[in-house]
Structure 1
């Protein structure tokens, strides 16, 4: 399968909206946080599957700028889960040669979590395997607004002329400036919306909306979606001669 995927031009960058943890837990009569813990365990399997599928970049949506609207108990539980995940997985990620980055606004996150994020990024900075990007307190509109402010400051400071600002300028100010745009965006749980995720970057991404709840998503399903991507005809607005 790996050879076939690579020969058909599989996605280099896959982004995933990991949805359905709460419903998965509710179906089992358990609290929502039980589902979030199950979903966190699923991340490792998906990361480990990427090299054999030819996926060099994986971006996962862990917590959005809108998720602060959830109950205080759930938000606190999620923040604790993020701290625990980083602490428990750091050595394994380093050992598996995974380069970790975080995107999103860190201002609202607690200091301990931000310190752990910084340490994990530094620890894996020399890793050359899969590039795992975790979107934490991330929103696409918020990202564009923050990028625009930084761009405006550079214009005001004379570092950039207004007439030089074009379509290729703004991406240099985005959180993802060192990453290629996603080729394939997957959303689990049966919802068919993009939920403010990588709005600028996904302009030409292929989308897959699957019914599987995130804690049930596995390497085999990822492989199926990657295989399907390779069979698509991507023309980027052009037509074949």
Structure 2
């Protein structure tokens, strides 16, 4: 069973006062055309921005806030979204800062989407990575709020078509392919490796990560060891 967050999305008539529709952000619509997602922004006292993400039905009713109780660490950044082909899952691609991004996963219940995992999907992906042999000689910095320098978690393209372009023949809306990248900037150990575009798969049915055998060649090239001077 997936670990589901206990905080339900906020229900209201829509965005609060001061939040305006971000005209530059894309409006996303689910494949079944029943859910639309809009991004709203509000200027803060320090001239930054706070973003809220709202879902509505096709007639712009049943408003639900997708990201309640999030701190100001997400200020200033809009997000990208992808629906699963069956319209039951939603992935949010959220920039966190310079060179940093994470993923959030949501599951549908009627007209609303609620958090499908207690931690961001990106954090869970890093947790999994550090259980694999690829993480040898790598570590997460406890002083770094994200655990790594320039930690970037991306959604590999193709979720909307079940990754057919990768030659996969997976069940409909079953898997999410995640890409991980980070560098060891500032590390004292100049021989420490870094990774770029390391792939793993998240199973939406079981809530577990894995690395399919046919990812082996790609992932081997994703790990780089500096040449000794």
Higher strand share: 2
Q: TM-score, normalised to structure 1's length?
A: 0.24
Q: TM-score, normalised to structure 2's length?
A: 0.25
Question: Higher RCO, 1 or 2 (CA under 8 Å, sep at least 6)?
Answer: 1
Higher helix share: 1
